[in-house]
Amino acid sequence: MVLNTPPMGWNTWNTFGRNIDENLILETADAMVENGLKDAGYEYLVIDDCWSSKQRDENGNLVPDPIRFPHGLKYLADYVHSKGLKFGIYSCCGPLTCEAYPGSLDHEYQDAKFFADNEVDYLKYDWCFHPRNLAGWTLYNRMRMALNATGRNIVFSICNWSEEGSFEWVNKVGGDLFRSGGDIYDSIESIKSITYRQMPLLCFSGPGCYNDMDMLICGMYGKGNVSSPGGCTDAQYDTHFKIWCMSSTPLMIGCDVRNMNDFTKNLLTNKELIAINQDPEQRPPMIVKTDSRYIVLFKHLANGEYALSVSNFTDSQVHANVILPEIGFPADGQWVLRLRDIDTGDQIGDIAEGFNIEVEPWATRIFKGKVVKVR
């Protein structure tokens, strides 16, 4: 199975960490449907680390925690599937997961069969406690081959934080997406750090294998497992989501979707932004300008359209200059870039050479348009 667009869904880790149980998964599946997330394209419901018992059974099989998940994984998968969603789970390529639960090292085929028997659709496969004498590509190739042997289509999410130059081999070993950095936290500094670090890696993303900049923190507001004091402002969450959409990275929600405010719900279901992320051509953006103040990205979309974003990473308003010849646009006056602000719907006009954009602190503005011949 080839993923034609980046996966969209929800993951337990950012908000709940170890504090997960059966009721949370059932209620979240309900909320994803009731709050319009499923209709917006979010289809994977993924349980992260800490779902299993601390020991395998006498036959070496993984065991869901009997207190927190008394009915097992198949019960959850059936319920998630009944909602029109897909079910995901977590393991690790070492003997232990990051939270010291049983990992899948040397149990790859056994665990892959266990996942398939429980009708898992998505596996997040982490990097903690991996044996240092084995190459990472070998460990991930093992699990991809084991998943293939089950005959079930299971999305393979490689999470090795871009160590060992993994962006160069994840596609070769059958990865459908790959984490290209460390964990995100609920702070604007974390968003900024990831964004600047990812710029050189965006070119490795494309149909079939997507650069995963980590899960979304929109709507957390300083609460949860990856929280920072105060969290982020709405403008900062807006910038976070827009950059992730421009970068064609997977959109995996991390907030408690049972308790979203209107701003968060409207942001996460914004059709125009999601359309940029899910564009059929899946071309990574061009980096037009990047400095300590702002980043300008330009992205080819299907149907001859383009998206242009300007992100302000300072506490002050910036006046960003966008020079179209720097993008490769001829400044002969015969052709113009006709742009529209996707937030306001306002027509910016026909731009031939360049323009100046005012962007508020920590905000991002995105424009969509087409090239038009005017004379």
pLDDT at residue 354 in the model: 87
pLDDT per residue as tens digits for the range 146-162 = 999 999 999 999 999 99
Question: Does 317 have pLDDT greater than 90?
Answer: yes
pLDDT at residue 330 in the model: 83
Max CA distance (Å), the chain: 78
- In whole angstroms, give the CA distance from residue 285 to residue 301: 10
How far from 75 is each of 45, 59, 208, CA to CA, in Å?
14, 21, 30
- Centre a 10 Å sphere on the Cβ of residue 326 and count the other Cβ atoms it contains: 14
Residues 9-35, mean pLDDT to the nearest whole number: 98
Which of the four pLDDT bands, split at 50, 70 and 90, describes residue 210?
Answer: very high
Which of the four pLDDT bands, split at 50, 70 and 90, describes residue 293?
Answer: very high
Residue type, 89: I
Which of the four pLDDT bands, split at 50, 70 and 90, describes residue 131?
Answer: very high
Q: Considering 126, 176, 214, 256, which one is annotated as catalytic?
A: 126
pTM, full prediction: 0.97
Q: Which stretch of DSSP H or E encloses residue 365? A: strand 364-373
Q: What is the residue whose two structure tokens read 């009708």?
A: 119
- In whole angstroms, give the CA distance from residue 282 to residue 262: 29
> Contact 48/81 with Cβ under 8 angstroms?
no
> Contact 317/229 with Cβ under 8 angstroms?
no
| Annotation says 48 is catalytic | no
Residues 232-243, mean pLDDT to the nearest whole number: 98
Residues 360-375, mean pLDDT to the nearest whole number: 94
**Structure tokens that stand for 272 in this block:** 């125009």
> Contact 236/188 with Cβ under 8 angstroms?
yes
pLDDT at residue 375 in the model: 77
Question: Does 1 have pLDDT greater than 80?
Answer: no
pLDDT at residue 334 in the model: 86
Residue type, 358: E
Which residues sit opposite 321 in a β-bridge? 356
User: How much of the chain, in percent, has pLDDT values that exceed 70?
Assistant: 100
**Structure tokens that stand for 206 in this block:** 């494309």
Helical H runs in the chain?
13-16, 22-34, 37-40, 72-82, 108-117, 136-149, 188-198, 234-246, 262-268, 271-277
User: How much of the chain, in percent, has pLDDT values that exceed 90?
Assistant: 93
| Residues found in the chain | 375
- Residue with the larger pLDDT of the pair 90 and 335: 90
pLDDT at residue 332 in the model: 79
Question: Does 90 have pLDDT greater than 90?
Answer: yes
Which of the four pLDDT bands, split at 50, 70 and 90, describes residue 328?
Answer: confident
pLDDT at residue 132 in the model: 93
Residues 324-328, mean pLDDT to the nearest whole number: 88
Question: Does 69 have pLDDT greater than 80?
Answer: yes
Residues 285-314, mean pLDDT to the nearest whole number: 96
Which of the four pLDDT bands, split at 50, 70 and 90, describes residue 26?
Answer: very high
**94-119 per-residue burial string, b: 16 or more CB within 10 A, e: under 16:** bbbbbeebbbbbebbbbbbbbbbebb
**Structure tokens that stand for 144 in this block:** 């991809």
> Contact 298/308 with Cβ under 8 angstroms?
yes
**Structure tokens that stand for 203 in this block:** 């070119």
Question: Does 331 have pLDDT greater than 80?
Answer: no
Residues 326-343, mean pLDDT to the nearest whole number: 88
- Centre a 10 Å sphere on the Cβ of residue 149 and count the other Cβ atoms it contains: 13
pLDDT at residue 289 in the model: 93
| Annotation says 57 is catalytic | no
pLDDT at residue 329 in the model: 84
**Structure tokens that stand for 349 in this block:** 């006009």
Which of the four pLDDT bands, split at 50, 70 and 90, describes residue 333?
Answer: confident
Phi, psi of 296 (to 5 degrees): -115, 125
Which of the four pLDDT bands, split at 50, 70 and 90, describes residue 56?
Answer: very high
3-state helix, strand, coil in the chain (%, to 5): 30, 25, 45
Question: Does 188 have pLDDT greater than 90?
Answer: yes
Which of the four pLDDT bands, split at 50, 70 and 90, describes residue 49?
Answer: very high
Which of the four pLDDT bands, split at 50, 70 and 90, describes residue 123?
Answer: very high
Residues 261-280, mean pLDDT to the nearest whole number: 98
